[in-house]
Every structure is written in structure tokens, then in C-alpha cells.
Amino acid sequence: MAKLIECIPNFSVSKEREPEKYQALVDLAQSMPGCTLFDAQTDGNHNRSVFTLIGSPEGIENAAFELTKKAAELIDMNKHEGQHPRMGATDVMPFVPQSRDVTLEECVALSKRVAKRIWDELQIPSFLYEDSATRPERRNLAKCRKGQFEGMPEKLLQEEWAPDFGERKIHPTAGIMAIGARMPLVAFNVNLDTDDLEIANSIAKAIRGSSGGFKYCKAIGVMLEERNIAQVSMNMVNYEGTPLYYAYEMIRALADRYGVKIIGSEVVGLTPAKALIDCAEYYLKIENFSCHDQVIEYHLIDMK
Amino acid sequence: MAKLIECIPNFSVSKEREPEKYQALVDLAQSMPGCTLFDAQTDGNHNRSVFTLIGSPEGIENAAFELTKKAAELIDMNKHEGQHPRMGATDVMPFVPQSRDVTLEECVALSKRVAKRIWDELQIPSFLYEDSATRPERRNLAKCRKGQFEGMPEKLLQEEWAPDFGERKIHPTAGIMAIGARMPLVAFNVNLDTDDLEIANSIAKAIRGSSGGFKYCKAIGVMLEERNIAQVSMNMVNYEGTPLYYAYEMIRALADRYGVKIIGSEVVGLTPAKALIDCAEYYLKIENFSCHDQVIEYHLIDMK
């Protein structure tokens, strides 16, 4: 049975602005033993790139460190500009369980080992965020990153903002990082047959955990300008705790109040099979189904 | 990218009646390179066992031959008794594509190579069935097997029943086999809130391909005596051609005529993830979804 962990490091560099630095990170990621570079996204406006690696716990732990080391060598945050908020050369580094025998707790432990090693060997401090957070307000990446690279020296001196690993000062060029573990996230959007953004906003507010809705659902309303329709755009941050069909059915019920119907939905990027199979199980009323025992792909993964 | 093929040989032997012979086949299956024995079911009343192996095309091709050879050494069909229809020591041997880069056509070609080698080296004749069939009536296993082991010597002399490989006579102890390729099959049953078997029978008849319903759906009505409810019991023999939700929604519509509702369903045994993900895609109205690109498990399988 193969233990698989995903790591999605975000680097403050883009192919569009600094192709050689970007490529050096891609090359290193592709050369790391025990893991595979699944995907590398780059955005010139954000001046940021997002890598997706999957591998064994050992392979991922090592790759996470080596990539952070290389990014620190290549990137000087004092010269970094881009639209996306950022505080470090490697800005964010989440670890996600991707096989059934890996627990979130294992990923939390791994994230702490990586954060410790990054401080010990590279002198880059870090906040532990998401499920690795040591206090509630640090679960939220946006709160950790508030002030960004330029504001961090001052922020770290505040009583409650000592790094989890490292001293109260940033690395002079690589800044500071957020490191943590989280469940797989599914980006799930539901389209409404209305051009009234207020309706999508109102539904988003009702269903998101932060304002009393589903605990593991983040939601905002957005306009799809090309189609002139409003959308409820969601991050389902724990599809086992809050399944996708909870959100879908609640949106349907709430939209009905306005005489509005769901006309479609989208899953953006990758999703674990189970997030969708759980929905099939609900809609087909399947009794006594064991996803991990009955779905052949889980056996194929375990077989290797 | 790993090419994976499933082979499900059915042997005319059971652990309950002849544990040593059964175990010899299990041991051989477990020792074959390039494939894994997923599952071994045995039934003493049927005096029959069903193995599920998954592996590379080469591994599966070799294992299929070696297991047939071993079964022919161990089993004398002249002494075989059991409730299940059968015509050979290795009775049936289907090959099923189990990764996205394996086509049904590849499995058809593989089935013919195996059938040829079994005749050439073991002198066991075979019918090609399912998608390997050389004429329409041979697609159906029941038609190939009609007459069973005892009736085969006479049947093979009939104009239209020459084996696809081999001469018009059975192997004296191992009989004759059905060898072929087919799509993965999903056993899907839908439970109705009625104790009237006739309603389930009527719905089953309406939805099955043989009487004008869905091409890739086989269906019968059965009573679940313990729960005193009627069930539409189906084999979905090509879930891409006839998705599970076609059957479910049609059963719902037809049951409504009798004032009957669906109270649940079940998936028996293994299913490919996509058979259920396609249902989620339908019920959640997901637009532009690419199962193979967006579902992480497919990448995990390809990665190895």
C-alpha cells in the first residue's frame, strides 16, 4: 500500500518575468527522488508559481526542503513585485494526505519537521497554518500573511506574532513562510440563471462557515461577465466534513426563494474521486457502499 | 503510464470440496509476475471459484495461460458436479480494460492470442465470446455454454458450433472454454418501496436492452425476501454507453406510474470510479469536466 502525500509550494517567481529562475525550480522538482511534479502553474501578473508534487512521505519531505532552499538562493523578496499577496520566496507550503492510509495528523507532523529543518538549516522562519496551526487565528493564511513581506519585520515584534519556528525576524531575502497541513480542497462553483450578483452574494453568505453555514465551505458570489450570470464560487476545504452535495442542495433551496435555478456547476482543477463518488452515492441512494473497498481505482493505487 | 488489464478466470473447483486443488491455483496466481491476485471467491454449492487478477498486458496474458494449464492438470470435468452451469476446467476467461490507455480492442486481440496458445499447447478448444465473438450468437455466454460439459461433444459437431480455436472435439478432461473481452461490468440494483415483484419485473423488462430498453443494461426483477421489497437487479455491461443514472432515472419514471418510489440502491462488488463520477457529473450539472484529467486518482495510477 503506497502512502502518498501532496505538497503544493507557492513560489514568488514566474516564468513570464524570470524564466531561468522558474525553470531551475521546475528542473529541481522533476529531479527529486520519491516524488513526481504533477503540475506547475505560473502567473506573470501575480509573479507567482504554484507547483503540485505527489510522492512518498520521505520523498515529499525532502523535496519540500530542497525546493525551499533553491527558492531562497534564487529569489530576493526585496525586489519582488506582483499582484498577489506574498511574504516569502517560498510563500506557502501546504501538505495534503492523498492516499487513504495517510492521516491529516501525519501531514501535520511532517509539516512541523520541515518547518524546523528550514529554520535550522536555512534560517527562514515560518508560521504553522491550517491544521498545523498552534493557535486559532493562524489557521487562516490571510491573517498570517497580512502585512506581507514589507510589513513582516514590524509584525513579528508584536506579542502574538512570533514565528512558530525561528526568531522574530525575517530572512533578509527569503522572508518568512506559511507551512501546514490541510485536507484536499475542491474548488466547486455553481452557476445561477440570474445576472443579479446580489443573489449569489446572499447565497454565498448563507452557506459559508464563517457566517453560520457549512463548516468546511468558503464561498463568495462572483459575476461571470462573458455569460452574464452570477456564480456561487466555493472552496470546499474538507469534502468529507461538508460534502459537495450539501452545498449544491442548499444553493438550490436558497435560490428557489428568488425564483432562480441552478444552470450548471464546475469543478476547477483536481479533485479526489471520493468527493464526487460521495455525491453519486447520495443521489442514487446507494446503500452500504464502501468507496475504498468497492472502487477499483483504490485497489490499483494500493497495488503498486 | 501503466497499462492495466483485468482477467477473471472461472474454475470448476471449490475450496469447500477440493481445498488442495483450489489452493494450488491460488498459489500459482499469487506467484505470477506482472500481475496481482485481487480476489478469489469460492462457492461449494456451485463447486466453482472466480479469481480476479489485474496486471500488465504481458503479465495477464502469461498468467491466463499458466492458470489454464494448471487447472487442466488438476481438474477432471468427467467427475465435476455443481449447481452452476459449466463446460470446462477453466470455464470462462474474460479480459477487461482497467486503465484509460487500454482499449477493448487490445483486450480482444489478447483474448485471441491466449485462446490460440491454449489450443496449440494444451489442446483445449474455445469459443470466443462477448466482444471477441466471431458471430453474434456467441457474444452470449449462456448460448455458448448451453449443453454444458456433457453435451459438448455432440454440440461441437453441429454446423454452427465449431470452436473458434481447436477441432470439433473437447479436451477429454478439461472440456472447452469461453474466452473473450468485455467492458467492466457494474452490478447495480435499485430497491422499490413495494412488495409486488410484478412491478419490478415490468420495470426490468422495460429498461433492459434485450426487450427494447437501454442497450448495455441487463435487468431482472427479484424479491428481497428479508426486507419484503422488490428490486430491479441489473448488470450494467458498459457504463460509458449506458450510464448508471440512465437506469436510475428511468426506473424512477416507470415506478412513478405505479405510485412506487425508489428507496435505495446498491452497487455489488467492484466498480470503476468513473461509473459513479459520471453520475455525480449529471446530478450536479458539472460543465466541461474531464474525469481523467481532473480526478487525482487517475494521475496517481498513471504515476507509477
pLDDT of A179-190, one tens digit each?
Answer: 999 999 999 999
Name residues whose C-beta falls within 8 Å of residue A190's C-beta, 6 or more positions apart in sequence.
Answer: A231, A232, A234, A247, A248, A251, A262, A264, A265
Cross-chain residue pair B300–A184, CB shorter than 8 Å: no
Go through the domains of chain A in sequence order and give each one's CATH number: 5-181 (3.30.990.10), 186-303 (3.30.70.670)
Which one-letter DSSP state was computed for residue B18? -
pLDDT at B298 over 80: yes
Contact B294 A270 (CB under 8 A): yes
* Nearest to B65, CA basis, from B96, B32, B26: B32
How far is residue B133's CA from residue A76's CA, in Å, rounded to a whole number? 67
- Chain B's closest residue to A251, CA to CA, is B284
Instruction: State residue A101's pLDDT score.
Output: 83
DSSP codes, A135-157: SGGGG-HHHHHTTHHHHHHHHTT
How much is the average pLDDT of A217-222? 95
Region A140-166 average pLDDT: 96
Name the residue among A266, A272, A300 with its Cβ closest to that of B4: A300
Q: Which residues contact B293 (CB under 8 A, 6 or more apart)?
A: none
Q: What are phi and psi of B31, to 5 degrees?
A: -95, -5
Distance between B278 CA and the closest CA of chain A, angstroms: 8
Chain A residues near residue B266 by CB distance under 8 angstroms:
286-289
Q: What is the mean pLDDT of chain B?
A: 95
CA distance A190 to B241: 27
Residue B257: CB atoms within 10 Å: 10
The predicted model scores a pTM of: 0.83
Classify burial at B196, counting beta carbons within 10 Å of its beta carbon; exposed 0-12, middle 13-18, buried 19 or more: middle
How high is the pLDDT of residue A1? Answer: 54
How does residue B77 score in pLDDT terms, banded at 50, 70 and 90? very high
Measured distance CA(A271)–CA(A269) in Å, rounded: 7
Where does the pLDDT of residue B302 fall: very low under 50, low under 70, confident under 90, or very high at 90 and above? confident
Which residue's C-alpha cell is 452497487?
B267
Sheet with strand B229-236: strands edge to edge: B217-224, B229-236, B186-192, B262-268
Cell 409486488 maps to which residue?
A: B196
How large a percentage of chain B has pLDDT more than 90? 91
State residue B1's pLDDT score.
54
User: Which amino acid appears at position B91 of this protein?
Assistant: D
* ipTM of the complex in this document: 0.82
* pLDDT at residue number A83: 87
- Asked if A283 and B283 come within 8 Å (Cβ–Cβ), the reply is yes
Strand B229-236 and strand B186-192: the pairing is antiparallel
- Cell, residue B257: 406510474
Mean predicted lDDT score pLDDT of chain A? 95
With cut-offs at 50, 70 and 90, classify the pLDDT of residue A123.
very high
Confidence band for A235, pLDDT divided at 50, 70 and 90: very high
Q: What was the pLDDT predicted at B101? A: 83
pLDDT tier, B2 (very low <50, low <70, confident <90, very high otherwise): confident
- Residue A53 is placed in which grid cell? 508534487
In this complex, the residue of A269, A277, A289 whose CB is nearest that of residue B277 is A277
φ, ψ at B192 (rounded to 5°): -110, 150
Catalytic (active-site) positions of A: 84
In the structure grid, which three cell numbers stand for residue A247, read together?
452545498
Angstroms from B99 CA to nearest CA on chain A:
9
Average pLDDT over residues B9-21: 97
Grid cell of A245 as nine digits: 452535495
In DSSP terms, A41 is beta-bridged to A50
Q: How far is CA B134 from CA A295, B8, B128, B160, B241, in A?
A: 32, 21, 7, 11, 22
Least-confidence region, from A68-77, A174-183, B97-106:
B97-106
Please tell me the predicted confidence (pLDDT) of residue B304.
Answer: 56
Burial A42-64 (b: 16+ CB within 10 A, else e): bbeebbbbbbbbbbbbebbbbbb
Query: Does A304 have pLDDT greater than 60?
Result: no
Q: What is the mean pLDDT of residues B265-269?
A: 92
* Phi-psi group of B123: left, alpha or beta (phi > 0 → left; psi -120 to 50 → alpha; rest → beta): left
Interval B241-247 mean pLDDT: 97
pLDDT score for B93: 98
Any alpha helices (H) in chain A, and if so which ranges? 19-31, 57-74, 104-122, 141-145, 148-155, 197-207, 244-256, 273-283, 291-294, 296-303
pLDDT digits (tens, 9 = 90+) for B103-156: 999 999 999 999 999 999 999 999 999 999 999 999 999 999 999 999 999 999
Nearest-Cα residue of chain B relative to residue A286: B265
| Beta-carbon separation of B54 and A266 below 8 A | no
Q: Which three cell numbers stand for residue A7?
A: 505538497
Distances in whole angstroms, Cα of residue B224 to Cα of each of B9, B189, B195, B255: 29, 11, 9, 17
Residues 6+ apart with CB under 8 A from A189: A231, A232, A233, A234, A265, A266, A268
Interatomic CA distance for residues A275 and B189, integer angstroms: 22
| CB < 8 Å to B2, chain A | 304
- Report the pLDDT averaged over residues B263-268: 95
How far apart are the C-alpha atoms of A60 and A2, rounded to whole Å? Answer: 13
**Per-residue pLDDT reduced to its tens digit, A199-215:** 999 999 999 999 999 99
The Cα–Cα gap between A174 and A122 comes to 10
For residue A224, give every residue at least 6 positions away whose Cβ sits within 8 Å of its Cβ, in sequence order, or none. A191, A230, A231
CB B195 within 8 A of CB B230: yes
Cell numbers standing for residue A162:
512570533
Q: Reduced to 3 states, what is the DSSP secondary structure of residue A291? A: helix
pLDDT grade, residue B99 (50/70/90)?
confident
Chain B interface test: which of A36, A250, A295, A302 (most B C-beta within 10 Å): A295
Residues contacting A218, CB < 8 A, separation 6+? A208, A209, A210, A234, A235, A237
Residue A264, judged by CB atoms within 10 A of its CB (0-12, 13-18, 19+), counts as middle
d(CA A249, CA A33) in angstroms, rounded, equals 44
Q: How far is CA B38 from CA A299, B52, B304, in A?
A: 8, 5, 18
First to last CA, chain A: 7
